[in-house]
Structure 1
Amino acid sequence: MSTYVYGITHSGLPQLPAGLAGVGNPPRAVRVVRAGGVAAVVSDCPPGLRPTRRDLFAHQRVLSAAAGATVLPLRFGSVAPDDRSVRALLTARSDALREALDTVAGRVEFTVRGMHDEETLLRGIVARDEEVRRLNAAVRADGGGTYADKLRLGKLLDAAVAAQAARDTATVEEALAPLAARHRGGPGADGWILTMAFLVDRDRAAAFLTAAQRLQEDMPHLDLAVNGPLPPYGFAGSAGFAGLFGAAAQRPLATV
């Protein structure tokens, strides 16, 4: 049976809670595989593993149970052929893994995404830009303005929104990056104008959240979504162990 890997930690991981159960139905017992001065928190991988809510929660529960140690969390569905393969990978990558553990030790991740409040943003653009204000008035008048007016207004608005998005991204980065050990990201997608991740020392987490709240108050045209503190998924992977293990074959998310 293949081995499901939840995360990687130091070999001196404190003892896990007795009876800790992982993914699967029935849940598989969790164990620790050690090699090369590091360790992997694992269980047997059930056949036909899917990202059900039950198993996604089980994955997170196991990582939370190991929270007394520094843990490099793996994404759901990370699987090795067997325990022997896990030991071989831990041994071969032990130096990189210890370095990655040092990178995230005592730190948590916050993700920050921003989306424009279109009504507030456009109202501000119209108020600031005389040509936009004139064209907007012409288009909204009874005659509806000319085709050239509408085309020009659309181009000006698109440019103004893009410029504001760039300024907002820079403002958020400048305000929050000094509170983080590392950060990454920038322009967003799917309607978000920015998507960033910050690796923050635990003792600075409250200050980080306060700074994010202050940003929201100072930028009413921007809706900020702050998620955290979280396990350092993004920074752990970028620190050198992403891709160590394969992904289980997964069907679409199912309910339980």
Structure 2
Amino acid sequence: MTTYVYGITPADRKLPDDIEGVGDPPRPVRAVRSGDLVALCSDAPAELRPRRSDLLAHQHVVIEAAKDGAVLPLRFGGISPDDETVAAILEKRHDLYLEGLEKVAGRDEFNVKVYHDEEAARQVVLADEPDLMSRHAADRDVDGDRQDTAAFGELVDRAVSERGKSDVALVEQVLAPHAVAVAHGPEAAGRLADLSFLVERERRHEFEEALRGLHQEHAHLRAQATGPLPPYSFVETD
């Protein structure tokens, strides 16, 4: 039976005796120790898939482990050949993992996905770029010139796309001072950015207040925040 790994914690971390992890039926979670570290593990199911129940089970183990201190969470799907291999990796990367635990101690991740409200963004671009506004006024005086209208629309769309770059920089500029680290996630169609912020728990309200201010002052932006989360984006476990 292969070993499924949820995360890494200091060796003195205690979990509830009956905590269960992934699988159907759910596998009991155990600690694999090496020196000052333990890896939270269970037997891996024969066929592991990202089913909702297993994703939630993985998250539950990580959150329970984090209640009493720092945890280095592994993303869903971490499998090792056996417990002995896990222990050997803990020994080999002992100092790296201890440094990682120190980095995330007392801190949580907030993920912020940034989008444009397209119509509001168009209005902002028209207001901020007088040449486009003049072109817009002239275009409205041209009766029935559909080709010119389409060309103008494409011009505005390009300006909105270019605006996205500065808007991402703006979001970072507003939120980063309230975090200790920022990580950039993958690009995706229709999304300006996927940003993760590592935030000290005692400064959480500052971060959330800055996010509210961003929404109030820049109505053309949609910044969807999720958190607090385990600090997946700020962990080096490989």
1:138 CA displacement:
5.2
Q: How does 1:1-256 map to 2 (within 5 A)?
A: 1-13=1-13, 15-67=14-66, 68-137=68-137, 139=139, 141-146=142-147, 150-151=150-151, 153-154=152-153, 156-185=155-184, 188-236=187-235, 240-242=236-238
- How large is the Cα RMSD of the aligned pairs? 1.9
Greater relative contact order (CA < 8 Å, ≥ 6 in sequence): 1
Q: 2 CA distance for matches of 1:176 and 1:133?
A: 31
Structure 2 segments unaligned to the other structure (5+ residues): none
Cross-structure match for 1:245: none
CA distance in 1, matches of 2:134, 2:19: 67
Give 1:154 deviation, angstroms: 4.6
On the 8 A contact 1:135/1:150 being kept in 2, the answer is: no
Deviation at 1:219, TM superposition (A): 0.4
Q: What displacement does 1:95 show?
A: 0.8
Offset of 1:146 from its aligned partner? 4.4
Aligned equivalents of 1:77 and 1:23: distance in 2? 10
Partners of 1:8 and 1:203 in 2: CA distance? 23
Flag structure 1 segments of 5+ consecutive residues without an equivalent. Answer: 243-256
TM-score when normalising by structure 2: 0.92
**Counterparts of 1:31 and 1:2, CA distance in 2:** 13
In the alignment of these two chains, the number of paired residues is 236
Report the more deviating stretch, 116-125 or 130-139. Answer: 130-139
Equivalent pairs: percent with the same residue? 44
Conservation of the 8 A alpha-carbon contact between 1:139 and 1:145: no
Question: Offset of 1:218 from its aligned partner?
Answer: 0.5
User: Where has structure 1 moved over 6 Å in runs of 4 or more?
Assistant: none
Shift of 1:61: 1.1
Counterpart of 1:254 in structure 2 is none
